Amino acid sequence: MTLPEFLPTIGIAIGKMLLVLLVAPLLEGAIRKLRAVIQSRKGPPIYQPYLDLMKLLAKEELHVTDSPIVAWGPPVMLAAILVAAGLMPIGGQAPALTAGDLVVFIGLLALANLTLAAMGFATGSAFSSLGASREIMAMLAAEPVLFISLLVLAVQSGSMTFAGLLAAPMGIVTIVAAIAYILALQMYVAKVPFDITEAETELIGGPLSELSGPKLALAQWTIYAKQFIYSSLFIQLFMPWTLSYLGWLPFAIVANVLLVLLLDVLVVGVVMSVNPRLRLDQALRYGMSLAGVASVTLIVAAVVQFVGR
Amino acid sequence: MIRDWLIKRILPRALWVYHVNCGACNGCDIEVLDTLTPYYDAERFGIKIVGSPRHADAIVLCGPMTRQTAPAVRRVYEAVPDPKIVFAIGSCAVGGGMWHDAYNVLGGADQVLPVDFYVPGCPPRPEAILHGVATALGLTEQEVARVSGVQRGNEVDVRSLPREERLVQEQD
């Protein structure tokens, strides 16, 4: 393809990045509001995370270390997540054929997590180093489930691009993969039973503890955006029928955002409001058993495909 | 310019607080934590307690400033990014309280840090702390009418007062 043919794809990708940037903090605000309602109090306004981010952007940035990792970490994190946002499908519409590769997408999400961990190690503070090593352990628990449950769809459709995944036929294995994905959603977004990395009361923010001002805002924004991407991916891949009957793309995108909001409030918000934090080994065991179930599903899907051929 | 506007308009609605005990008997600490419970719901003003001074916008000091904690408190103050607000909570932090002449006490928190707002009381009730913080942030008008004779409708913006006059009156 030549450049002019790519232009619409690039334009749509930039649009998706902006959408994710603008909408992602709203999820956090809705979850905080839900927690307040569950604890029968008033709670902050739903737009509170926007205020927090704007305030952090205006604050002074303290120099904690000379390490370039800390200087460049937050922008790199946010950039990785935004490129991933550009690649992901939205409103039931996958990006043009070559642009939505699954492996690149997962690699970008992992890059954001690894950058966070690297920043934690680079600051040299005890809290952030511990948080960083926990971040890597948490990735070990969460990433296999994510990758394997997406691979089930890839096997079903015989394609590694989002365009292919969206066209995957629904079957029992898809439903099992969807259940594994939603059970692991709390791990991907690192919310309360699995907020082992940040552990506000214990590690005072983990890898974030030494960041201040704009850097903290970017890192925080990345975390919000990640949450949006993981939740939106579930809607796209495992519940495409909720979007497909809305013919017009803007409608589908609005429906997509609302569904993500509903999913986050009803699943992530409720789970985080009624649970205490797990220990790292408990989280690992949980992730591994989910990954085991997902692997069996993957093997079944592969065998069925093979026999079918 | 945008930055000043953000600080002026947004900061009071998203205040992250770092709590320091610089020698308190824990009475004030418990009241500060009470303020953050669902019953008083400080989060509805966007107030959040943070564990790292680098995330904080405000420091809440409880207790008299002892010789031992003064250097550490100074370092905490330096670890908070600008702009920062310092609250002294409780009689001890305001002026040393009953320990003002103890051999190991330097006095109130203002002996070491530039304190912006004082909330006296032994300990101040959670309502008083919330009122003090809300007044400091400009969320409520300062109720000084009964004390200084200023009539309602003619209140002073507490943020424009010199530091000595910012004493937040406890309501009874």
**pLDDT at B134 (0 to 100):** 84
Domains of chain A, by residue range, sit at 15-308
> pLDDT category, A2, cuts 50, 70, 90?
low
Mean pLDDT for the stretch of residues B16-42: 89
**pLDDT at A59 (0 to 100):** 87
**pLDDT at B131 (0 to 100):** 86
- The CATH number of the domain where B96 resides is what? 3.40.50.12280
**pLDDT at B153 (0 to 100):** 58
Interface of B with A (CB under 8 A): 2-3, 6-7, 10-11, 13-14, 16, 38-39, 41, 43-46, 50-52, 54-55, 57, 79, 81-83
DSSP chain B: -HHHHHHHHTGGGS-EEEEEESS--SHHHHHHHHHTSTTT-GGGGT-EE-S-GGG-SEEEEES-EETTTHHHHHHHHHHSPSS-EEEEESHHHHH-GGGTT-TTEEESGGGTS---EEE--SSPPHHHHHHHHHHHTTSS----HHHH-PPTT----GGGS-GGG-BPPPP-
For A72, B81, B112, B162, the CA distances from B8, given in Å and listed in that order, are 28, 16, 26, 18
Question: Lowest-pLDDT range, A70-74, A140-144, A198-202?
Answer: A198-202
**pLDDT at A221 (0 to 100):** 92
Residue B171 included in any domain: no
Interface of A with B (CB under 8 A): 32, 36, 39-45, 48, 51-52, 54-55, 57-62, 64, 127, 200-201, 203-205, 208-213, 216
Residue B25 included in any domain: yes
**pLDDT at B172 (0 to 100):** 41
Distance CA B113, CA B1 (A): 28
Mean pLDDT of chain A: 85
Distance CA A180, CA A278 (A): 19
Q: Assess whether pLDDT exceeds 70 at residue B166.
A: no
Mean pLDDT for the stretch of residues A223-244: 85
Mean pLDDT for the stretch of residues B12-32: 89
Which candidate from A58, A201, A204 shows the least CB-CB separation from B6?
A58
Q: What percent of chain B has pLDDT over 90?
A: 16
Residue B5 included in any domain: no
Nearest CA in chain A to B78: A62
Residue B153 included in any domain: yes
CB contact under 8 A, B10 and A55: yes
Which pair of structure tokens corresponds to residue A49? 């995370």
Mean pLDDT for the stretch of residues B40-47: 87
pLDDT single digits (tens) A163-176: 778 877 777 888 88
**pLDDT at A70 (0 to 100):** 86
B73 phi, psi to nearest 5 deg: -65, -40
Task: Give the structural domain span for B54.
Answer: 12-165
**pLDDT at A98 (0 to 100):** 63
Q: What percent of chain A has pLDDT over 90?
A: 14
* pLDDT, greater one: B34 or B145: B34
Q: Cβ contacts (< 8 Å) between A41 and chain B: which residues? A: 38-39, 41, 43-44
**pLDDT at B152 (0 to 100):** 53
> pLDDT category, B159, cuts 50, 70, 90?
low
Nearest CA in chain A to B16: A52
Mean pLDDT for the stretch of residues B136-152: 59
User: What's the domain count of chain B?
Assistant: 1
The CA radius of gyration of chain B, in Å to the nearest whole number, is 16
Q: Assess whether pLDDT exceeds 90 at residue A49.
A: yes
CB contact under 8 A, A61 and B81: yes
pLDDT single digits (tens) B83-133: 888 999 998 888 888 888 889 898 888 888 888 888 888 889 998 898 888
Q: Assess whether pLDDT exceeds 60 at residue A42.
A: yes
The closest of B51, B54, B53, B58 to B14, measured between CA atoms, is: B58
**pLDDT at B157 (0 to 100):** 63
> pLDDT category, B59, cuts 50, 70, 90?
very high
Q: Assess whether pLDDT exceeds 50 at residue A226.
A: yes
pLDDT single digits (tens) A73-124: 899 999 999 988 888 888 777 776 566 688 888 899 999 989 988 988 888 8
> pLDDT category, B168, cuts 50, 70, 90?
low
**pLDDT at B146 (0 to 100):** 47
Residue B2 included in any domain: no
